[in-house]
Amino acid sequence: MNKTIPLLIAATLSTSAFADHDKHEMKHHGGDQMKHAGMNHDHGAEHDHGSHDHNAMAHEHGDMVMNTATITHTDEISAALSNGGAPVVVDVLGVVCDFCATAMNKIFGKRDEVAALYVDLDKKTLSLVINDGSDLSDKQIEKLAKQAGYRIAAIRRDSEAMGG
Amino acid sequence: MIKMILRIALVSMSLMLCATAVARPVSYAGGWTLIETSNRASTAGLVHYSPAHNFSVGLRHEWQRASDVKLTAIQPSLLVNRWFGREYQGNLYLTGGLGTAKDESPNNRGSETASFVGVMADWETRTLFVSYEARFLEQGALGNHSMHAARFGWAPYAGDTGELHTWLMLEVDRREHFEDKTSVTPLLRFFKGPALLELGYNLTDPSPLVNFTYRF
């Protein structure tokens, strides 16, 4: 019995350690959860389609209720916007505690493209300001959120992120 | 590199000062976590590193106070699945460990190879929390232990980012190798930024509960 437990651990880790990873990819790219039903933003003239990769990530609205939250203004975010940064608001699923915020801060805060960020537990959003001249595509944002352990539901940029 | 060495040194010192623990056993990719737990059965410390968002590997040191047995083990943990919702998060983890257990009591029963497997599941919103945890430990002649624990928590207010989050919790645990097999511990959880502190008192088997987690 003493030998069976380590074997069980090894078997479990080898067979399932990355099963979730694969499943996660499927959910994001399989199409089923990438519905635009309940889309909370206008794809009309106001939306700048030139600034990000719209096809790569789309906007996942799986089990999300409509969220039209705009960017959260902190001193850091306001300063970054004043310096010409581009606002991005990311609706994040599963953000319920400060550990979630810590994870997002650590992962996104390392990126040179990010001038300022704030995780808002009340709004369930990640507010980003992208440095002038830099870009962080929807797909990159999705990937970073996954590294933090979370999943995104929608991304709003520019005027949508600012609320008008 | 120097930063990494300092971090390992800090964590090692903390391990020596306190002991082991379990809580959220997997962090964000590249994240380190220090966990200390002390309850009616043991005082323990765990430091783990997560190379990916769904896997961590850590070093655990645990002092089983009643028998004065000290366990040191490598502990890998796997986030099997995380369920997401706009208002909730649920997690299922598997964990295990392999190391040595040493009898430090006057009985001096020597050392044994030790191994354990565990499962953890939790579901939480910003004001409700439910969890279940089980661990099965084998230490040969130094004793085999099983543990089950369930928790229910409620937060009287939903704290925003960086604010102090306060939870009222009740833990019920069952340990077959104890005289009081089932016990109840009310506790308070304080949560702020990367730090989490839990303070409670076991009403059935009078003893304090002190848990601390810090995420780097």
pLDDT, one tens digit per residue, over B67-124 is 999 999 999 999 999 998 989 999 999 999 999 999 999 988 999 999 999 999 999 9
Q: Do A93 and B85 touch (CB under 8 A)?
A: yes
Provide the pLDDT confidence category of residue B169 given band limits of 50, 70 and 90: very high
Q: Which H, E and C letters describe B82-114, residue by residue? A: EEECCCCEEEEEEEEEEEEEEECCCCCCCEEEE
Q: Do A20 and B193 touch (CB under 8 A)?
A: no
Q: What is the pLDDT of residues A65-101, one digit of tens each?
A: 557 889 999 999 999 999 999 999 999 998 888 888 9
pLDDT value at residue B20: 33
State which H helix or E strand residue A28 sits in.
helix A19-29
CA distance B137 to chain A (A): 9
Q: Does A153 touch chain B (CB under 8 A)?
A: yes
Enumerate the residues of chain A whose CB falls inside 8 A of the CB of residue B192. Answer: 98
Contact B152, B112 (CB under 8 A): no
The residue-averaged pLDDT of A145-154 equals: 93
Write the residue in A19, A124, A148 that is nearest to B86 by C-beta: A124
Choose, out of B71, B84, B120, B213, the residue to mutate when testing the contact with A (most A CBs < 10 Å).
B84
Mean pLDDT estimate for chain B: 89
Provide the pLDDT confidence category of residue B6 given band limits of 50, 70 and 90: low
Q: Determine the 3-state secondary structure of A80 from DSSP.
A: helix
Bridge partner list, B175:
B147
Q: Do A2 and B140 touch (CB under 8 A)?
A: yes
Q: Does A101 touch chain B (CB under 8 A)?
A: yes
Enumerate the residues of chain B whose CB falls inside 8 A of the CB of residue A120. Answer: 160-161
Q: What is the pLDDT of residues A27-59, one digit of tens each?
A: 333 333 333 333 333 333 333 333 333 333 334
Tell whether the model's pLDDT for residue B163 goes beyond 70. yes
The interface predicted TM-score of the complex, written ipTM, equals 0.78
Provide the pLDDT confidence category of residue B25 given band limits of 50, 70 and 90: confident
How many C-beta atoms surround the C-beta of residue B176 within 10 A?
11
Enumerate the residues of chain A whose CB falls inside 8 A of the CB of residue B193. Answer: 98, 101-102
pLDDT value at residue B187: 97
Write the residue in B27, B80, B88 that is nearest to A96 by C-beta: B88
Write the residue in B28, B94, B160 that is nearest to A107 by C-beta: B28
Two structure tokens written together for B119: 């499962």
Range of A4-8, A94-98, B21-25 with top mean pLDDT? A94-98
